[in-house]
Structure 1
Amino acid sequence: MTSFFFIFRITLAWAIASTVLAITIGQTMLSERDSGGPLLLLVLGAMAFAAVNAFSHVRRVRLLTGEVSSATLSSRQRRQIEVPFEAGETFDIVDAAIRDLPGAEQVDSARDSLQVRAKIRYLHPYRGGWLSRMTGHAGPSGNQVIVTVTPNGDAGSVTLICEPERWAWTDWFMVDAGANVENADAIGRAVARRVAERRRSEQAAAAQTATEKELTVAKLSLLHAQVEPHFLYNTLASAQLLTRSDPARADEMLGNLIAYLRNSLPRTDDALSTLGKELERARAYLDILVIRMGPRLRLQVEVAAELHAAPFPAMMLQTLVENAIKHGLEAKAGGGTVWIIARVHDGVLALTVADDGRGLSGEGGGTGIGLRNVRERLRLAYGSAAGFTIVSNYPSGVAATISVPYTGAATTQAAA
């Protein structure tokens, strides 16, 4: 019924207009005797033209949309599209979709006012034939697209209007062969495709970040579970030797080894450790080495007691301490000193491990895997809020500093 009334409306409009025109011509140009037949043919021809034109429009709209209604048959289309991005991103998506529309010739966009206006060249689907030229569809001036983006919190609301470049009253006589419903649907599809692409990109980035975090956690678990065989063998061998000559020191060494191994067990979650726990592990490790290396190794710790409860990533302090021993002091003939210093300033906890060993230029500096792991874990856990620096210590050695956010009450603390 909708199709019938649409065709009837267009035909009636042409019948009324052609009748008025015929009467005007008959009264001014023709005699009453000669005016009947030609004028009747004029009216009938106009009605036939209108009916055929309207029928063709209805058929093409049904082909494009799969349904015929007053909304789809209209030559002027309005769409309301909600895009789940902020207004600026929504504007960019819509602007790109319109510029890629077939026949887009002139696109004027104003990002500040969130508006886009475009001229769309009329592409009649059946142009080229004599009927197309007779019906006037060799082409009207064209169509236009008007878009306004309205901010809606974290989303953007898009008002899309597609219409012919002619007065609205002409819709009683002329149709657009579904051109504007085609343009509106094309823009809607293009916006949906771009939104889906951005969602896929976000999901891929999130999946990549999750994979990186899982890999880092796996590396950390491996680092927890891994006790260097040489360190374990040497410690046990030293303890065995001391049981004969100095049982008290042997007992002390085994106690430190137990404390070190207890704190090195893998964790069942990826929650942060505390500075106190990490310091306990590092002290146990260093106390073992003090017994083994004797006066060649000296240790100075400057960490205030109130900082022991501060959250701190697991195993990072241990990595820096092991680097200081292996690559700085162990191969140095006279040994040296390891400093562990904690400071808090402007909401940042800075933990420094320094030595006076062979320095950055020393041979056998290792592969750097441990330090790269420290940087990557800090990036994943804190983003840009954390930092890691490693510099030469004066007059010799290396100083490595890890900086993480600190929410305690102190602003500047130290303990001797």
Structure 2
Amino acid sequence: MISSIFHLGRLLLAWMAIFLVLCIFASEAGLRHVDAPIGGYAALAGFVLGAWVLSVAFSHIRRVRLVAGTVSAAALSNRQRRRIEIPFEAGEAFDMIDAAIRELPGAQIVDSARDSLQVRARVDGIDPYGGRSSYAWALEHLSTRRNQILATVTPNGDAAGSVTLICEPEGPAWIDLFLVDHGTNLENAEAVVRAVTRRIAERRRQEAAAVRESATEKELTVARLNLLHAQVEPHFLYNTLASAQLLTRSDPARADAMLGNLIQYLRHSLPRTEDAPSTLGEELERSRAYLDILAIRMGPRLALQIEVQEELKRHAFPPMMLQTLVENAIKHGLEPKPGGGTVWILARALDSALTVTVADDGRGFTAQGGGTGIGLRNVRERLRLAYGAAAGFSIVANFPTGVAATITVPLALGVASAPASAAAAAPALASGDRHG
């Protein structure tokens, strides 16, 4: 109430002061001795001017109350200032405020400078009462005609931007003593704030949806990994147990060694928790147990050579990938070869990458290799999902016979293991063929 009275009084006082100055000027110009009727006309003109000014000021107050829901000195002001905190980096904050200003009715962008993080715009005056109103002529001559907007973005760290928004009439500040904007700058400021708030909420919804989608994909990935870890090839398990049973009658020592290797292999093949890391050493133990079992079954037809330095065993390595390559070498390289052969497992640290190679001197790339190629395709897909371009997989012919398959991953200690998705895309234990 006090703000309304003060606003009315200030506007009326400003116009009455102008009217008084005009009367004094007329008097000083030689109209000092006017007769009573002319003086009465001057008083009547002053009364009409006062009534006109009060009606315009009252209309301004009532409209501001409708727009803001309350009346205060800040709301009644022709010049509005807002500070908006946007929880995104300054460039994104600038894009949001720029788009919000461009969507204002009647907005005309004068300058939008992304480097200086400033937006200047003019906004055409909108008649809030309708141009056909019979009272519009009495209001428009005491109203501001065009407004302007200045938005400045201030970086607030790397992940936030602060926007200073100024909505005001075009013209110097002294015109506020005589003219009103009927709440148009208040509307512009509130509209920009609402638009920015809506865009922030929309971004949050998109981020929440992306998080939910990522969580779902992660759950599916972990489920596949757990299935992969739990999946021990039935034929391998049955054949190993049958061989151990046979050896218990003829060679108990070898049967005991085979069962020990089987236990070691199964221990490393059990599902691990989704965040549990794997290292090259653990994967090597799993593959070594598998090869020791086959060495008992195949006898002198299988030889094994491992060249892996101890310090490399501590580094992270995707689960089950080494096992896939080893199984591929046995099934499609050495088992079909009448005389068998040798499997080599080699690891090297080159620059910031760990390279692991599984090679054999088996049959090599032959049409009789069999298989579907699923295992090797899964290796490629899992590496792509986990490391992108930072990892690699290659398979080439070995000399003089056989195949050499190499996996390259970024060099990292096992405590900072490969991403969970590295474990994941699809069951790779079902080994593929040489043409995967």
For the criterion TM > 0.5, the same-fold answer is yes
Determine whether 1:368 maps to 2:371: no
2:405, 2:234 → 1: CA distance?
27
Q: Does 1:99 align with 2:115?
A: no
CA RMSD for the aligned pairs? 2.7
Deviations 1:15-62 (A, max 9, x none): 222233345456659771242232222211211111111111111111
Q: Secondary structure at the match of 1:212?
A: helix
After superposition, what is the alpha-carbon deviation per residue over 1:172-225, rounded to whole angstroms, capped at 9, x for unaligned? 111111000111111111111212222222333233333333322222222222
The share of aligned pairs that are identical, in percent, is 59
Evaluate the alpha carbon distance shift between residue 309 and residue 45 of structure 1 in structure 2; reply closer, same or farther with a 3 A threshold: same
| Residue 303 of structure 2: aligned partner | 298
1:197 pairs with one of 188, 197, 202: 202
* Runs of 4+ in structure 1 over 6 Å off: none
Report SS of the residue matched to 1:163.
Answer: strand
- Count of equivalent residues: 406
| Alpha-carbon separation, structure 2, partners of 1:282 and 1:312 | 13
- Equivalent residue of 1:130, what SS? coil
Structure-1 separation of matches of 2:371 and 2:333: 8
Letter aligned with residue 387 of structure 1: A
User: Secondary structure of 2:314's match?
Assistant: coil
Match of 2:266 among 258, 261, 265: 261
Change (3 A) 1:402 1:213: farther
Q: Tell me how far apart the structure 1 counterparts of residues 149 and 366 of structure 2 sit (CA, whole Å).
A: 65
Quick one: which amino acid aligns to residue 64 of structure 1? V
Residue 19 of structure 1: aligned partner: 20
Q: Normalization by structure 2: what TM-score?
A: 0.84
Q: CA deviation at 1:108?
A: 1.1
Following TM superposition, by how much is the alpha carbon of 1:14 offset from its aligned partner in structure 2, in angstroms?
1.8
| 2-structure distance, mates of 1:369, 1:177 | 73
Partner of 1:405: 411
1:76 and 1:162 in contact (8 A); partners too: yes
Query: Which of 215, 220, 244 is matched with 2:220 structurally?
Result: 215
| 1:353 equivalent in structure 2 | 358
Q: Compare relative contact order (CA 8 Å, sep 6+) and give the higher one, 1 or 2.
A: 2
Shift in CA distance, 333/198, structure 1 to aligned 2, threshold 3 Å: farther
Which of 69, 73, 76 is the matching residue for 1:73?
Answer: 76
1:132 equivalent among 127, 136, 140: 136
* Paired AA for residue 296 in structure 2: I
**1:104 deviation in Å?**
0.9
User: Mean Cα displacement is larger for which, 134-143 or 309-318?
Assistant: 134-143
Matched, 1:64 2:70: no
Q: Structure 2: which 5+ runs fail to align?
A: 415-436
Matched, 1:145 2:149: yes
Which structure 1 segments of 5+ residues have no match?
Answer: 409-416
State the AA in 2 paired with 1:194: R
**In 1, Cα distance between the equivalents of 2:368 and 2:212?**
40
Corresponding residue for 1:286? Answer: 291
Give, in whole Å, the separation in 1 of the partners of 2:380 and 2:242: 31
| 1:394 counterpart = 2:398 | yes
Letter in 1 for 2:14: A
Q: Is the 8 A contact 2:3 2:73 kept in 1?
A: yes
1:117 CA displacement: 0.4
Give per-residue Cα distances to partners, 1:102-144, cap 9 Å, x unaligned: 2112341111111110111111211312322332269744110
Letter in 2 for 1:249: R
Pairing 1:32–2:38 present: no
Provide the C-alpha distance between the structure 1 equivalents of 2:110 and 2:302, rounded to a whole number of angstroms: 74
Partner of 1:9 in structure 2? 10
